[in-house]
Structure formats: structure tokens, C-alpha cells
């Protein structure tokens, strides 16, 4: 069993947001970070981070239905690819912002840069 003693520090915009085992397929992590919150998803063993508030309205996508690389907004059913942020089905009219993710030891880092 891992001791989990690795350092968890922020640098150059990277924030340590979770332990790796906190994110599982179909069970994304919702972060109160960035401008619209951030959702972290696991797809095929890799992690992806996208904005968590739906571009169409006040709905958290991490509360929606997830399947493989897709998440469906729980409010009106827009579908997004969490690997790319691409909007696959409306009514949302734009893609999701994406954030770089890095895993070091047992820690998950997301590079959070505010939109200006
Ligand atoms: S709020 Fe997400 S599709 Fe309408």
C-alpha cells in the first residue's frame, strides 16, 4: 500500500487537487477552482480536466451522466467529450475549456489559469 508521503505543492499554476484514487471512471471529481469550476474525469486510465459549469446554463456537468469519454449535462442534455472539451450535442453552443492534468506519484495536479 502506498504511503502517500509525496509533496503536494503548487508551482507555475499547477495545483495539487486530489489523490489519484479519488477519480474513477464514471465518478468524476468536482473542484471549486478556475472561473467555472473544474471537473476531473478518468477515461481509459488517463485523467482529463474540463470546466465544470455547462456553457448553456447553471448546471454542474460532474453531476451529469458519464459514459466512456462523454458527459451529459443533467439539465438539458448537452453532451461533451471530456478528453477534448468538444461539444458533441447541443443545446450548448461552445466547447468546454480544458486544463492540463499531471499525475506525480499519488497526487493529481491541474494547471489552473484564469481566463482574462
Ligand atoms: S444547462 Fe447544460 S444543456 Fe442546458
Q: Which domain holds residue 46?
A: 14-111
Q: Which atom of ligand 1 is least distant from the CA of 74?
A: 2
Pair 51, 38: CB distance under 8 Å: yes
We report the CATH number of the domain holding residue 40 as 2.102.10.10
Would residue 51 count as lying in a domain?
yes
Is residue 116 domain-resident?
no
Q: Of 59, 62, 63, 64, which is best to mutate to test ligand 1, by the most ligand atoms within 8 angstroms of its C-beta?
A: 59
According to the model, what pLDDT value does residue 61 have? 98
- Count of the separate structural domains present in the chain: 1
Instruction: Enumerate residue ranges in the chain where pLDDT < 70.
Output: 1-11, 114-116
- 110 vs 58: CA distance, rounded Å: 23
In a domain, 2, yes or no: no
Residue bearing cell 485523467? 47
- Domain membership of residue 7 (yes or no) is no
Amino acid at each position: 500500500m502506498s504511503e502517500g508521503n509525496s509533496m503536494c505543492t503548487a508551482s507555475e499554476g499547477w495545483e495539487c487537487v486530489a489523490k489519484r484514487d479519488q477519480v474513477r471512471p464514471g465518478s468524476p471529481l468536482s473542484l471549486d477552482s478556475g472561473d467555472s469550476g473544474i471537473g476531473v474525469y478518468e477515461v481509459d486510465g488517463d485523467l482529463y480536466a474540463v470546466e465544470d459549469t455547462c456553457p448553456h446554463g447553471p448546471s454542474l456537468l460532474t453531476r451529469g451522466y458519464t459514459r466512456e469519454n462523454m458527459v451529459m449535462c443533467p439539465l438539458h442534455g448537452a453532451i461533451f467529450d471530456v478528453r477534448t472539451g468538444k461539444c458533441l450535442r447541443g443545446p450548448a453552443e461552445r466547447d468546454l475549456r480544458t486544463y492540463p492534468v499531471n499525475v506525480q506519484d499519488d497526487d493529481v495536479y491541474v494547471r489552473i489559469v484564469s481566463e482574462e
